[in-house]
Structure 1
Amino acid sequence: MTSRFFPPAEPQTLGTVADAVGAKVDEAARERIMTDVMPLDTAGPEHVSFLRDAKHRAALATTKAGAVFCEARFAAEMPEGSIALVTPYPDNAFGLAAGLFHPSAMRPRPLTARAGGEIATTAIIEEPEGLEANVIVEAFAVIARGVEIGRGTVIGPNVVIGPGCTIGRNAVIGANSTIQCAHIGDRVIIHPGVRIGQDGFGLARTPDGYRKVPQVGSVVIQDDVEIGANTTIDRGSRRDTVIGKGTKIDNQVQIGHNVVMGCHCVIAGCVGISGSVTMGDYVTLGGHVGLRDGITLGSGSSVAGKSGVGEDVPAGATYAGLPATDARRYLAERMAIGRLMRKKGGASNS
């Protein structure tokens, strides 16, 4: 791993690292200095690493890492020179610790500008008075009339922001993104190539073919949302499309018009969410999931990757399959089919 793009920050004591992620460490080792995080096979005495599970015990036996996040059952297996950082979730702790050593990677940085309030000479801003202090606007961005942007926000190169949009404070809008008919909260991160607020897919069937239905709603993106590269979020037709606070959306996700998504949802890559879907809080969608229009997913529900959901999902339920059903039922059906095929002598070791 190179430090060319993300050089580590100041060294940290093991006590600081452990406290930051809720891990336990031997009191005598709390003042030991660490400089970075590394995988088990490349870590040195100054690095913090992690043991994901029992399958990686061989790598633990030979690691030279100075400290290793691990479950309590593996603490006694630390090689000489390695300190156990005991936690129920080692991989999660490792990720959080990485933020201590690489704070600059926690938020996209301006590509060309260097200081707050710097506006590129090639940017077009119709009403500069709509920008608060310390807004960075990079080369060839276009900001239309009536736009309001909060202090500390970064507008990347070639970004286009349509009339009347509002963007909160300390947000980042990545290069080549387009935003229209949208209100965006504080500390939102929008990665390059995102499209927000374009027409939803609304059509009316007539004897002469399909005709366009006007999409007169907007998009509301609440605080602390992160949206991955090349994701699209359509504006609503008669109600707003809403992305709830703290939600994290991966790359290449399609979110249709009138979708209302709760807080702290996690949406993996290449998900397709049809129009008028309603999602509660803490909903999780695996990669390549497809949701039919108009359905509701209750709070705390999850859908396994590559599933197609055509009915409501109860709160707290886990669905899988195509068409998706309760995951336990889905697995039971798959096992029953396998047994039946073996019984009939079919090709069925799969």
Structure 2
Amino acid sequence: MTEPTNQTKVSPVFFPDAQKVTVREIAEWAGAEIVRGDGELTISGVAPLDEGVPGTLAFLDNPKYLDHLETTKATACLVSKKHLSKVPEGVVPLLTKDPYRSLAAVLGELYPAGMRPLSATNERSVSARAYVEDSAQLGEGVVVEAGAVIGANVVIGAGSQIGPGAVIAANCQLGDKCFVGANASVQHSVLGDRVIIHPGVCLGQDGFGFAMGAGGHVKVPQLGRVVIGSDVEIGSGTCIDRGANRDTIVGEGTKIDNQVQIGHNVNIGKHCVIVSQVGISGSAILEDYVAIGGQAGVNGHVRIGQGTHVAGASIVHGDLPAGGRFGGVPARPIRDWVREELALRRLAAQESKK
């Protein structure tokens, strides 16, 4: 190993400055209107309002940062109509209904490398230090990094990347432009296109199935699969068990945070959002556009209706209707939960005065 030099001690830059583009181009990407100012000014980066300097783009989404907006030195700022008057002279306002969503579109154009996890290597091929079974089918442009293992009869779509130490077990199928991060494990699974699997994810292992009894717990074979729709993203350390007698399903566009546990036979709809450390027990059903806050728990065999939101640290014991907002233990309508909490505080305050 070589001794570190002054050059190697310098902090690395993983996402270098973006290419220079005009404010007009930024507005087109963002779907925003240039309210005033010069659309030909150039932008080469993005910065928070209080760190904005000429050549950078800022945005305002949270009104608590209005003071920073009034003093920013950024060249341009994505802003909604209600805060337009606060944009200082000299800053080009880019009017948009949703500044944060517009920012996401711009960042995707300026920093395309930030849309997927970083590769461990710049090589765009199958590493000589990876193991790929002869029967595996790899599409055009597939990258397999050092230490990865690709099992028999695996099919991997064009443009996909398998990170170092990742294992794709026999007979699994991955669509086009998927990314499987370092040390992830994929077995008994079928993935759509553009699925992002972050490091340390485990897909398709046994569901927790035992026939309990006084004479010992008899293991029940888990014979289903994990089926992941296109454009799903799964955070580091998340585990998704394969089905017992049917498939475990994650619908297209769903985003799952780090350290989430999803049990066997769970059926998650399209475009759901599941935040970190959520546990979903076997055979639960989440319809489309469900959102579940961090550290919440969902009992087995319950159904959560379309578009329903569950607050963090809540426990869902029974079915929840579509379109509701629920929280607490057990989860109940948010208004009821808040009223009960306030009533308990009042009672506690009264008791303390006695």
Q: Which residue of 2 aligns with 1:296?
A: 303
CA contact (8 A) 1:25 1:84 kept: yes
Query: What secondary structure is seen at the aligned counterpart in 1 of 2:33?
Result: coil
Write the distance in 1 (CA, Å) between the matches of 2:135 and 2:24.
47
Q: Does 1:26 align with 2:35?
A: yes
**Amino acid paired to 1:186:** D
**Amino acid paired to 1:215:** Q
Write the distance in 2 (CA, Å) between the matches of 1:149 and 1:94.
32
| 1:340 Cα deviation after fit | 3.4
Q: Does 1:150 align with 2:154?
A: no
Q: Which residue of 2 aligns with 1:45?
A: 54
Write the distance in 2 (CA, Å) between the matches of 1:129 and 1:262.
30
Q: Which residue of 2 aligns with 1:346?
A: 352
| 1:3 Cα deviation after fit | 7.8
CA contact (8 A) 1:251 1:268 kept: yes
Q: What 5-or-longer segments of structure 2 have no aligned partner?
A: 1-10
Could you give the per-residue CA deviations for residues 17-65 of structure 1, whole angstroms, max 9, x where no partner exists?
2232232222653222211110011111111112233322221222111
Which has the larger displacement, 316-325 or 122-131?
Answer: 122-131
Q: Which residue of 2 aligns with 1:122?
A: 129
How many residues are paired up? 343
Q: Does 1:76 align with 2:88?
A: no
Q: Which residue of 1 aligns with 2:100?
A: 91
Q: CA RMSD in A?
A: 1.7
Runs of 4 or more off by more than 6 Å in structure 1?
none
Which has the larger displacement, 134-143 or 69-78?
Answer: 69-78
Against the structure 1 CA distance between its residues 23 and 332, is the aligned structure 2 distance closer, same or farther, given a 3 Å change threshold? farther
Write the distance in 2 (CA, Å) between the matches of 1:269 and 1:142.
28
Q: Which residue of 1 aligns with 2:252?
A: 245
CA contact (8 A) 1:145 1:163 kept: yes
**Amino acid paired to 1:87:** T
Query: What secondary structure is seen at the aligned counterpart in 2 of 1:48?
Result: strand
Residue 167 (structure 1) aligned to one of 160, 174, 180: 174
Write the distance in 1 (CA, Å) between the matches of 2:195 and 2:112.
17
| 1:11 Cα deviation after fit | 2.0
Q: Does 1:199 align with 2:215?
A: no
Write the distance in 2 (CA, Å) between the matches of 1:296 and 1:29.
53
CA contact (8 A) 1:37 1:94 kept: no
**Amino acid paired to 2:194:** R
CA contact (8 A) 1:62 1:79 kept: yes
Write the distance in 1 (CA, Å) between the matches of 2:106 and 2:296.
31
Write the distance in 2 (CA, Å) between the matches of 1:50 and 1:328.
33
| 1:125 Cα deviation after fit | 1.1
CA contact (8 A) 2:270 2:289 kept: yes
CA contact (8 A) 1:113 1:138 kept: no
Q: What 5-or-longer segments of structure 1 have no aligned partner?
A: none
* TM-score, L = length of structure 2: 0.92
Which has the larger displacement, 120-129 or 148-157?
Answer: 120-129
Q: Which residue of 1 aligns with 2:21?
A: 12
Write the distance in 2 (CA, Å) between the matches of 1:132 and 1:298.
38
Which has the larger displacement, 51-60 or 156-165?
Answer: 51-60
Write the distance in 2 (CA, Å) between the matches of 1:147 and 1:77.
56
Query: What secondary structure is seen at the aligned counterpart in 2 of 1:68?
Result: strand
| 1:253 Cα deviation after fit | 0.6
**Amino acid paired to 2:316:** V
Query: What secondary structure is seen at the aligned counterpart in 2 of 1:120?
Result: coil
